[in-house]
Amino acid sequence: MANVVVVGAQWGDEGKGKIVDWLSERAEVIVRFQGGHNAGHTLVIDGQTYKLSLLPSGIVRPGRLSVIGNGVVLDPWALIDEIDRLRAQGVAVGPDNLVIAENVPLILPVHGELDRAREAANVTARIGTTGRGIGPAYEDKVGRRAIRLADLADPATLETRLDRLLTHHDALRRGLGLAPVDRAALKAALEAVAPRVLPFAGPVWKILAERRRAGARILFEGAQGALLDIDFGTYPYVTSSNTMAGMAATGSGVGPGAIGFVLGIVKAYTTRVGEGPFPTELTDAVGIRLGERGREFGTVTGRKRRCGWFDAALVRQTCTTGGVTGIALTKLDVLDGLERLRICTGYRLDGREIDHLPVASALQARVDPIYEEVEGWQESTAGARSWAELPAAAVKYVRRIEELVGCPVALVSTSPEREDTILVRDPFAD
């Protein structure tokens, strides 16, 4: 049985939450391996809606172990709020079904303040961050001045870490016109939250190794999408971590040999939140229709998502850089009723055709999509659970995406509900 990594293969918001939840029925362990509470998953299970930001999607399934790996940056206060919210909905969350890596770096209030101050000051070229401190927290991690979860259990270490952290942050804050950090208040806040989060701390790398030896199937859950990857995304309009499948190994403490099947999640069209290039963006009635039918608002921020046609050139690129084995196509039902559909197959740049999005921002801004037009369908695909229930034109659309992307479709999702899924190839069977 293969361990499976689930990653977004567009700009995030592809519907990973539902797919991870659906796959978690076949897994014993679900691991979140990067990102922070800037990511969001919405699960709809038997009419009940669950909104998750930090917790792995498997947390709503009894009998599963959910894990937050060291590649995540963790806001302990956001975590406690999310746990309390889920408990109020009847979901059991405790140290028996949730483990957090002891070496996970923490997001502190100073990170959010710095994030928002920078974005406000950067009036000429905003990145479009969520302002939740994810970027500054990752900066402190690589700058070797982060406070990690294990530090909360050691008062002497915490004092040292605070000294090093605030020496850096107070200098930054002076440059932005902010007051120095209230060290005593920050320390008190950390001491207050420590008893609530430390019971979840554990050696994730060791626990996962033991589960692997016992034959457990592990599902690794990414956040955001490949086009927001710090290296391969549309830089600088990206997140602050690697969002590719390879991060599952380093972000949880398992070796690369633990990764079997890589499932790339893609919408049947394209969306992105915030700033940055978007070659197939639609600002006309069709774009508005996609946004309305797809309920395209961010789970975390509530921001309206930009919508456009499916970009096969971009997904082909992310499937290559991400090592995607198969794709899960979501929100096929949003395209119901459109007479004609377009698929981007490549770009024109300064009079010549290219088959990938260039790295340079100036070139990205100048590309024009090359479209192939295909037949739409008038019948409903909502709730379909087999190929036989799909209109012929919808099947052709899926098959054409496979051809253009160069990667087989493993799953098709036809509504937010857990069971409205067409299984073509079981990732865990490989």
* Pair 319, 327: CB distance under 8 Å: yes
Return d(Cα 26, Cα 66) in angstroms, integer: 14
* Active-site hit among 13, 21, 75, 311: 13
**What residues form DSSP beta bridges with 233?**
none
Residue type at position 152: L
**Position of tokens 């915030």?**
274
Question: Which stretches of 56-181 are DSSP H helices?
Answer: 76-88, 109-121, 134-142, 155-175
> In the structure encoding, which two tokens stand for residue 324, read together?
């995607």
Backbone angles phi, psi at 24, to 5 degrees: -65, -15
> Counting Cβ atoms within 10 Å, is residue 388 exposed (0-12), middle (13-18) or buried (19+)?
exposed
Compute the half-sphere exposure of residue 323: CA atoms within 13 Å on the CB side of its CA. 14
Residue 269, CB-side half-sphere exposure with 13 Å CA sphere: 29
**111 burial via Cβ count (<10 Å: 0-12, 13-18, 19+):** buried
Amino acid identity for residue 116 in this structure: R
Sequence-separated (6 or more) residues with CB below 8 Å from residue 9 = 225, 226, 264, 265, 266, 315, 318, 319, 322, 324, 327
In Å, what is the CA distance from 238 to each residue of 35, 304, 312, 347? 12, 17, 20, 21
Instruction: Kindly give the residue spans of alpha helices, DSSP state H, lying in 227-386.
Output: 247-250, 285-293, 312-321, 361-364
**DSSP for 287-321, written as a single string:** HHHHHHHTT-B-TTT-PBPEEE-EEHHHHHHHHHH
Q: Report the C-alpha gap between 56 and 72 in whole angstroms.
A: 11
Catalytic site includes residue 41: yes
Which of 37, 41, 111, 169 is labelled catalytic?
41
Catalytic residues: 13, 41
